[in-house]
């Protein structure tokens, strides 16, 4: 996320080089596993931490480091909901839409978020500040309705709390 290059424009994939620190971090992960492929998810998370998403070029680059095919890496990158193959905002809001939240005010909370941000699921605000996504039960049902912003879990959250809450994420 700190890079100034416009990663949304990176299309030519074969010439992409991983940041040396990322490559080192990926190689370090290999120690934990019997086979290098197991580090795929962590490798994708490592590049996502740098760019905010997983740019096209990183897929074959990760595949080269792990010694596996790019299709295997792409297959994983497109399967998991917390891996982003499209650019997202600076902050990702994960709103829990599971049963306990549904029973305690999820609809109102989501409607308020949609109204306040002007975006729905899978969309990013024009200033690229927030992306809104649904998430499986956050395991915070005694604090329902719950949501996460980046790494932080909040709950119970009422529509009137949103102003203050979102202010913390410029």
Partner 1 sequence: MSQSRQRQPLTYRSRILQPESERAADTHPLTWRLRDDGETVWLDEYLRKDGYQAVRKALSEGDPQTVIATMKKANVRGRGGAGFSAGVKWSLTLKGSGHPRGYIVCNADEMEPGTFKDRLLMEQQPHLLIEGMILAAWANNSRYGYVFLRGEYVEAARSLNRAIEEARQAGWLSPDINGSGFDFDLAVHTGAGRYICGEETALINSLEGKRANPRAKPPFPGQSGAWGKPTVVNNVETLCNVPAVILHGADWYQGLSGDRSEDGGSKLYGCSGPVANPGLWELPMGTTGTEILDRAGGLRDGLRLKAWLPGGASTGFLLPEHLELPLDFDTIGKTGSRLGTGLLTVVPETTSMVSLMRNLEQFFARESCGWCTPCRDGLPWVVKLLQSLENGQGEPGDIEMLEKLAADCGPGLTFCAHAPGAAMPLASAIRYFRHEFEQGIGKPRAQAHQDPIPAGQV
- Residue numbers at the binding site for partner 1 (CB under 8 A): 32-35, 37-42, 44-45, 66, 72, 75-76, 79-83, 94, 97-100, 102-104, 134-144, 146, 148, 151-157, 161, 164-165, 168
Least Å distance, CB 166 to partner 1, is 11
CA count, 13 A, side-chain hemisphere, 64? 12
Strands (E), 12-129: 91-96
Give the residue among 95, 90, 88 at the shortest CA–CA distance from 159.
95
Least Å distance, CB 115 to partner 1, is 19
- Per the CB < 8 A criterion, the answer to whether 89 and 130 are in contact is yes
CA count, 13 A, side-chain hemisphere, 151? 1
Both tokens assigned to 162? 């949103």
Which of residues 15 and 55 has its CB atom nearest to partner 1 in the complex?
55
Which of residues 126 and 152 has its CB atom nearest to partner 1 in the complex?
152
Least Å distance, CB 33 to partner 1, is 8
Which of residues 62 and 117 has its CB atom nearest to partner 1 in the complex?
62
Least Å distance, CB 4 to partner 1, is 26
Least Å distance, CB 64 to partner 1, is 15
Rounded Cα distance between 16 and 117, Å, is: 34
Q: How far apart are the first and last CA of the chain?
A: 14
């Amino acid at each position: 996320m700190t890079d100034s290059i416009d990663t949304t424009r990176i299309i030519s994939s074969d010439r992409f080089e991983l940041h040396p620190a990322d490559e080192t971090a990926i190689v370090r992960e290999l120690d934990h596993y019997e086979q290098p492929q197991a580090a795929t998810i962590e490798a994708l998370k490592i590049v996502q931490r740098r760019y905010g998403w997983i740019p096209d070029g990183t897929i074959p680059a990760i595949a080269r480091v792990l010694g596996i095919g790019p299709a295997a890496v792409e297959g994983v990158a497109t399967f998991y909901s917390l891996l982003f193959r499209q650019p997202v905002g600076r902050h990702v809001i994960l709103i829990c839409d599971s049963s306990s939240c549904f029973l305690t005010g999820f609809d109102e909370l989501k409607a308020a978020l949609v109204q306040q941000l002007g975006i729905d699921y899978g969309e990013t605000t024009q200033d690229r500040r927030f992306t809104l996504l649904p998430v499986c039960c956050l395991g915070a049902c005694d604090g329902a309705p719950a949501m996460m912003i980046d790494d932080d879990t909040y709950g119970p959250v009422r529509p009137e709390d949103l102003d203050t809450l979102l202010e913390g994420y410029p």
